[in-house]
Amino acid sequence: MPFGRKKQSEEIRDIRLRSQAGEEENARTIMLRLVRENRLAAFSLVLILLIMLGAIFAPVLTPYTYDGMDLMNRLSGPSAAHLLGTDEGGRDILTRLLYGSRVSLFIGVVPTLLAMVVGAALGMIAGYYGGIADMLIMRLADIMLAFPSMLLAMVIMYMLGDGLGNVILTLALVNWASVARIVRSETLQLKGNEYVEAARVIGVPRPVIILRHILPNCLPTFIVLFTLNVPSSILTESSLSFLGLGIQPPSASWGLMVNAGRQFLTNAPWLAFAPSAAIMLVVLAFNFLGDGLRDVLDPHQKKG
Amino acid sequence: MENKMTLEVDNLKVSFFTMNGEVRAVNDVSLRIPAGKIVGIVGESGCGKSMTARAIMGLLKYPGKVVGGEIRLDGQNILPLSEREKCSIRGSRISMIFQEPMTSLNPVIKVGKQVDEAVLLHSNVTRKEAKRRTIEIFREVGISDPEKRYDCYPHQLSGGLRQRVMIAMAMIMKPEILIADEPTTALDVTVEAQILRLMKKLCEGGTSILMISHNLGVIAQICDYVYVMYAGKVVEEADTFTLFDDPQHPYTKGLLNAVSSLRRGGERLDTIPGVVPNLLYLPEGCAFSLRCGECRKECGDVMPEYREISPGHKVLCTFAGEH
């Protein structure tokens, strides 16, 4: 309908103009613009929130437990009692999916945060101080980035052994370098701003400048980096679990479930399909959200 | 001048070490800024005005470096101080405002908080006391409704207001000297007049001001004493009236001729031919000889001597007084 379309484009222009005029950007207006301009991203946000709620309220949502065997009902297909069927031990797939989302979201969020704190700190130090600090930090990052990340993760996991803590540590070790690189370039750009100079002029010491003047201005970058790194962490964990290096059974993790379902792909395909679909949904949702946030938070970048 | 000197710069040399060689951006510059006076530096773009200011603040950027000279604040040489000591001087005893008020404030912090920062850094006061002082200085620099402005973000203020905030930030600790690097260039003329009046008022309050500008009108309005810089050197210095009435260096004359005036009627504006020479390839003798209308044979070979031709009036030209 041409009339409706025109109206929407006017609305967008309106939003753009207001943002150019420097209207105050708070969390609410950002969310509002996200919903208006990019419905896919808004939908992704809702989906992510739903999955989080599912993870939190898993025990309430399902009558089964994630490791409760029911050998009479092995490999049964989707039914009213088991919405997504059962696995080779008669455990309810949906239940395991819900509990598995705890691991997957945890693995998605915590190592990403860890990697971002370390990467951001090192990136800002490298970018702001320059010189030898820059040289050392960025060459170290280059070394980390020179390895294929999956291979690096596997090597570290072999050395550290299995377990949730080690998976988190591994993912953080693999991811910090790319964060540091991006934050460094952002810092280099911000450093040239006159307000940084103005802060120097009134005698603000350099560490304080980094915390008060550089860090808050990096925030949009952080948000986007976060939403883009979470799915890659989830994927890496899934791959590690699939290869038997991550979470160990009977704990549920999506990657582990795909691995277990592999053997029954021909006679009970839902075993592998359900967790695969869950991984895909979450990863796509985070990616769309990240994309949408980048569009909304960065007015300089034209929408493609 | 019999006054006490707030800031003395002696034979300051600033060089940039580039791949093509050493660029002498500031070459043997000496300045005297007496207490409670406004001193101006004029010159074209790239003549070393801003570099002198940065060197005084200790904010030269790589690969720029002070290679010689002394900068004395109340008799104390501040060049060899450590970064920490410099931090404690900056903002409390010596301060600076910039050309571009639009980008000189952090867009994500309330302006009041940014001014507070200066107080909290340099004195041991509570946040509440800092806020009270900030609002007080906002009132002093002529920001209307200071309580409300305190909670504004920079983009909610006009250019003039932002420059006032910048001045408030620089002045809140009552520094002995304020360096103003083209403070009114980005503002329109009415706001410029207000800001200049404000600076004059600050100066009467006891702060010395070093005013950097390429606008002779601004200099004429508020400065007591003027230095003219060209290619990294001071080419002429005198008190404002002498300089405008009786300029001696051909470059100063050229600058004054290039000022438009309603009284001069419809004739074409004079300009100085050519551009500032590349600092890497300065001529042997006088740096201005290539563009000078009164250049003689010797000028290209012999470095002119900086001489005092009348009390307080110094010129870097071999033939000053003879032209």
Task: Assign residue A223 a region (left: φ > 0; alpha: ψ between -120 and 50; beta: otherwise).
Answer: alpha
* B41's tokens: 């530096």
- Give the integer Cα–Cα distance in Å for A263 and A272: 9
Q: Which amino acid is at B283?
A: P
Of residues B174 and B260, more confidence is placed in: B174
Q: What is the pLDDT of residues A191-237, one digit of tens each?
A: 888 888 888 888 888 888 888 888 888 888 888 888 888 888 888 88
Give whole-number Cα distances, A135 to A120, A126, A139, A181, in Å.
Answer: 16, 8, 6, 12
The reported pLDDT for the residue numbered A27 is 65
- Give the integer Cα–Cα distance in Å for B49 and B33: 15
Does residue A204 contact residue B109 with C-beta atoms inside 8 Å?
no
With a pLDDT cut of 70, the percent of chain B lying above it is: 96
The whole-chain average pLDDT of chain B stands at: 85
Name the phi and psi angles at A166, rounded to 5.
-70, -35
Nearest Cβ partner of A205 from B57, B87, B109? B87
pTM score of the predicted model:
0.74
Does residue B240 contact residue B218 with C-beta atoms inside 8 Å?
no
- ipTM more than 0.90? no
Least confident of A46-50, A260-264, B81-85, B95-99: A260-264
CB contact under 8 A, A203 and B87: yes
- Give the integer Cα–Cα distance in Å for B64 and B46: 14
Q: Which amino acid is at A46?
A: V
Contact list, A193 vs chain B (CB under 8 Å): 103
Based on its alpha-carbon atoms, the radius of gyration of chain B, rounded to whole angstroms, reads 21
**What does DSSP say about strands B5-18 and B208-213: parallel, antiparallel, or unpaired?**
unpaired
The reported pLDDT for the residue numbered A141 is 92
Q: Which residue of A has its CA nearest to B117?
A: A204
Residues 6+ apart with CB under 8 A from A263: A88
The reported pLDDT for the residue numbered A1 is 40
Sign of the C-alpha dihedral, residues B114, B119, B122, B126?
negative
CB contact under 8 A, A202 and B166: no
- Give the integer Cα–Cα distance in Å for A199 and A270: 60
CB contact under 8 A, B153 and A205: no
Task: Identify from B104, B111, B162 which residue to disrupt to test chain A contact, counting A C-beta atoms within 10 A and taking the largest count.
Answer: B104
Q: Specify the residue for token string 């949730």.
A: A164
Please determine, for residue A23, whether its predicted confidence score (pLDDT) is greater than 90: no
A277: burial class by Cβ within 10 Å (0-12, 13-18, 19+)? middle
Beta bridge partners of B29: B12
Does residue A11 contact residue A36 with C-beta atoms inside 8 Å?
yes
Query: CB-based contact (8 Å) between A202 and chain B?
Result: yes
Please determine, for residue B264, whether its predicted confidence score (pLDDT) is greater than 70: no
- Give the integer Cα–Cα distance in Å for A178 and A229: 10
Q: How far is A193 from chain B (nearest CA, A)?
A: 7
Contact list, A206 vs chain B (CB under 8 Å): 83
Which helix or strand (DSSP H or E) is residue B76 part of? strand B76-77
Read off the pLDDT band of B1 (50, 70, 90): very low
The reported pLDDT for the residue numbered B38 is 92
Task: Identify from A18, A30, A132, A195 which residue to disrupt to test chain B contact, counting B C-beta atoms within 10 A and taking the largest count.
Answer: A195
The reported pLDDT for the residue numbered A224 is 81
H-type alpha helices, B173-215: 189-204
Q: Which residue of B has its CA nearest to A194?
A: B104
Q: Specify the residue for token string 């280059």.
A: A142
Residues 6+ apart with CB under 8 A from A302: none
Contact list, A199 vs chain B (CB under 8 Å): 106, 117
